């Protein structure tokens, strides 16, 4: 029988398959085969083993790959249909732990597949000049695939640890009249202080459906604060926190921590809880949770974000050593934050919100509100992803919070909805009330103003009005700071109830930074320091009087 009539058996044909048996293939085919197997392992883990190696391993890996793809499709559907549920799953401590374990296992399994793919490629069969290129491609693919998945698991673990450090494991809270109300406290716990004294107090009221936010600021020197009806402190101060000049609202935390902690059995931070009850009773609203941030953590968080951008209305001093505590007189400033556009790091943003030299507390409150809005505005997804680890680690500097970690997904979803909406604002002092109001407050007027503030946000949202438009308040309405309203909606200047002026002032962004003296001379650090050396503090006050004006950029 001639050789031409001899037919190859199926097994002989299989031995000539260059994918599974590369020995008989040319050098060019072997190189191409190596790159293709690497690409298959990267894009469809298990497919390289199925066509060129252990088919049992390939089938098992492909099943896992298909399950992962199905889970990703489900996540995308949830993102589009029920984003809150997806965020709750990711932020839930148990679910996130399971997810981390699964991601680590997948990363390790993917790495095993890449190593197995290297064995299938058999670098010794490659041309010497092709070996480094194929091996480098495999290493890069392993880093892009398995390495990225492992790093994502690491970041999720960082997030999980931060959530566990910052937030409580308590029960979830329900919205009150359609809104979540949070008390934000900036604590200054220095070595010369007993306990944490919150020098910055503001309430964030967020619409549970739309994310529309209202910010209510309470001066630290507010007197005669009213405790809510269910507060244990009401039995001690039934007529309000009024024992003279020492009974300022920011002293409640320290007093309760040192003298009345027994009134709050089982409460992690009695001082913070009592402060929440005082703010709740004062404003006539139910505040469900608090967050207390120390100033060091505040600065680190802004540094982690890469700074914040603001437009400053006037120069702000970085105060030096205190000389006269009673009159707020300091030594030579350590520096100045100029009027105009600024990018502030954590240190300068901290001083921008803290400084009250040469101006009153209300200018400081306005700057603090501006810093808060700048942080919310500039913490976009790109910044969050690029600086996630630093931001999460800085977040652990939050001293205390009774927000339940089980609700973080819902609140993150609200934060996403709130982004881009102009917050409505009210301050229990200038420019919304006269300067003496915080000393002798009228609580009926406060409650009316708060009701008007929250109603205006809801009405504007339901009516489809732009977020920067104000609904005209009644005579008792608060001073709602936002972009200028259309003429048909803008209220005329008139006295509010109780004789407290409620004039319409320029919007937060509608101002020109004061950069020159009345004579046209540029305001500089040298000029201001020169006036300070001369003891002419009145001249400095006049030059920096507008430093309460601020707008996020």
Mean pLDDT of 273-283: 92
In a domain, 198, yes or no: yes
- Predicted confidence at residue 508, as pLDDT, reads 55
In a domain, 194, yes or no: yes
Length of the chain: 553
Quick one: pLDDT band at residue 435, thresholds 50, 70, 90?
A: confident
Better-scored residue on pLDDT, 325 or 212:
212
User: Which residue is it, tokens 């690409």?
Assistant: 39
457 and 524 in a single domain? The answer is yes
- Reply yes or no on whether the pLDDT at 365 is more than 70: yes
90 and 202 in a single domain? The answer is no
| 424-427/213-218 β-pairing | parallel
Better-scored residue on pLDDT, 411 or 227:
227
Tell me the H-state helices in 284-387.
295-305, 346-354, 361-378, 381-386
In a domain, 247, yes or no: yes
295 and 326 in a single domain? The answer is yes
From 136, 166, 196, give the residue that closes a domain.
Answer: 166
- Reply yes or no on whether the pLDDT at 486 is more than 50: no
- Reply yes or no on whether the pLDDT at 60 is more than 90: yes
318 and 279 in a single domain? The answer is yes
Q: Which are the contacts of 113, defined by CB distance < 8 A and separation ≥ 6?
A: 41, 45, 46, 48, 49, 61
Mean pLDDT of 163-184: 75
From 166, 193, 227, give the residue that closes a domain.
Answer: 166
From 121, 137, 166, give the residue that closes a domain.
Answer: 166
pLDDT digits (tens, 9 = 90+) for 95-137: 888 999 999 999 999 999 999 999 999 888 888 888 899 999 9
404 and 287 in a single domain? The answer is yes
- Predicted confidence at residue 499, as pLDDT, reads 37
129 and 222 in a single domain? The answer is no
In a domain, 11, yes or no: no
| 179-188/197-207 β-pairing | antiparallel
Among residues of the chain, what percentage have pLDDT more than 90? Answer: 25
In a domain, 286, yes or no: yes
331 and 432 in a single domain? The answer is yes
320 and 381 in a single domain? The answer is yes
475 and 497 in a single domain? The answer is yes
Question: Number of C-alpha atoms within 13 angstroms, CB side, residue 481?
Answer: 23
Mean pLDDT of 318-324: 79
Q: What is the mean pLDDT of the chain?
A: 78
265 and 373 in a single domain? The answer is yes
124 and 193 in a single domain? The answer is no
pLDDT digits (tens, 9 = 90+) for 473-484: 333 333 333 333
In a domain, 3, yes or no: no
Phi, psi angle pair for 318, to nearest 5°: -95, 100
DSSP string, 426-472: EESSTTTS-TTTTTS--HHHHHHHHHHHHHHHHHHHHTT--TTPPPP
Better-scored residue on pLDDT, 273 or 398:
273
Count the domains in the chain.
Answer: 2
Nearest to 254 by CA among 240, 239, 275, 238: 275
| Strand positions, DSSP E, 146-196 | 179-188
In a domain, 542, yes or no: yes
CA 443/CA 449 separation, integer angstroms: 10
304 and 259 in a single domain? The answer is yes
Q: How far apart, in Å, are the Cα atoms of 75 and each of 90, 105, 157, 163, 503?
A: 11, 19, 19, 22, 50
Number of H helices and E strands in the chain, helices first, is 19, 13
Report the CATH number at residue 420. Answer: 3.40.630.190
Phi, psi angle pair for 479, to nearest 5°: -90, 100
- Predicted confidence at residue 281, as pLDDT, reads 92
Are the beta carbons of 117 and 41 closer than 8 angstroms?
yes
State the pTM of this model.
Answer: 0.63
Element holding 332 (H helix, E strand): none
Among residues of the chain, what percentage have pLDDT more than 70? Answer: 76
Residue 285 belongs to what domain range?
179-552
Q: Say which range, 322-331, 364-373, 523-532, has the weakest mean pLDDT.
A: 322-331
Are the beta carbons of 280 and 286 closer than 8 angstroms?
yes
In a domain, 195, yes or no: yes
- Predicted confidence at residue 307, as pLDDT, reads 86
Joined tokens for residue 113: 């597949």
Element holding 242 (H helix, E strand): none
């Amino acid at each position: 029988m001639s050789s031409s009539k001899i037919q190859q058996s199926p097994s002989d044909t299989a031995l000539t398959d260059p994918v599974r048996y590369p020995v008989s293939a040319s050098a060019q085919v072997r190189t191409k085969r190596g790159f293709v197997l690497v690409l298959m392992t990267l894009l469809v883990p298990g497919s390289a083993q199925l066509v060129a190696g252990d088919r049992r391993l390939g089938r098992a890996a492909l099943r896992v790959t298909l399950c992962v793809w199905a889970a990703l499709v489900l996540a995308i559907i949830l993102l589009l249909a029920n984003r809150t549920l997806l965020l709750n799953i990711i932020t839930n401590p148990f679910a996130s732990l399971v997810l981390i374990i699964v991601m680590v296992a997948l990363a390790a399994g993917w790495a095993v597949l890449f190593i197995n793919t290297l064995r299938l490629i058999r670098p010794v069969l490659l041309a010497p000049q092709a070996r480094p290129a194929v091996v480098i491609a495999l290493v890069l693919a392993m880093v892009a695939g398995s390495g990225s998945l492992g790093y994502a698991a690491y970041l999720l673990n960082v997030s999980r640890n931060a959530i566990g450090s910052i937030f409580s494991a308590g029960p979830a809270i329900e919205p009150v009249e359609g809104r979540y109300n949070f008390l934000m406290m900036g604590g200054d716990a220095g070595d010369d202080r007993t306990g944490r004294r919150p020098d910055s107090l503001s309430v964030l009221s967020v619409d549970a459906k739309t994310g529309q936010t209202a910010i209510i600021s309470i001066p630290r020197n507010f007197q005669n604060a009213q405790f809510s009806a269910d507060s244990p402190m009401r039995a001690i101060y039934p007529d309000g926190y009024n024992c003279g000049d020492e009974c300022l609202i920011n002293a409640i935390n320290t007093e309760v921590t040192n003298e009345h902690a027994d009134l709050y059995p089982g409460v992690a931070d009695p001082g913070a809880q009592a402060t929440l009850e005082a703010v709740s009773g004062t404003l006539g609203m139910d505040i469900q949770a608090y967050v207390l941030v120390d100033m060091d953590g505040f600065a680190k968080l802004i540094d982690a974000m890469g700074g914040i951008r603001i437009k400053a209305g006037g120069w702000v001093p970085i105060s030096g050593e205190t000389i006269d505590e009673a009159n707020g007189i300091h030594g030579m400033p350590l520096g100045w934050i100029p009027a105009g556009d600024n990018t502030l790091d954590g240190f300068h943003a901290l001083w921008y919100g803290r400084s009250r030299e040469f101006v009153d507390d209300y200018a400081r409150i306005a700057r603090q509100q501006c810093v808060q809005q700048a942080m919310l505005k500039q913490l976009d997804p790109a910044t969050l992803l690029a600086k996630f680890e630093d931001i999460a680690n800085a977040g652990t500097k939050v001293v205390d919070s009774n927000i339940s970690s089980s609700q973080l997904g819902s609140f993150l979803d609200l934060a996403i909805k709130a982004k881009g909406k102009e917050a409505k604002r009210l301050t229990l002092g200038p420019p919304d009330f006269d300067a003496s109001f915080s000393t002798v407050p009228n609580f009926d007027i406060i409650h009316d103003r708060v009701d008007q503030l929250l109603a205006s946000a809801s009405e504007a949202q339901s009516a489809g009005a732009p977020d920067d438009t104000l609904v005209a308040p009644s005579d008792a309405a608060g001073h709602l700071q936002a972009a200028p309203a259309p003429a048909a909606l803008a209220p005329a200047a008139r006295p509010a109830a109780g004789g407290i002026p409620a004039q319409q002032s320029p919007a937060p962004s509608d101002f020109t930074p004061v950069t020159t003296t009345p004579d046209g001379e540029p305001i500089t650090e040298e000029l201001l320091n020169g006036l300070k050396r001369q003891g002419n503090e009145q001249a400095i006050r006049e030059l920096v009087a507008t430093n309460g004006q601020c707008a996020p950029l």
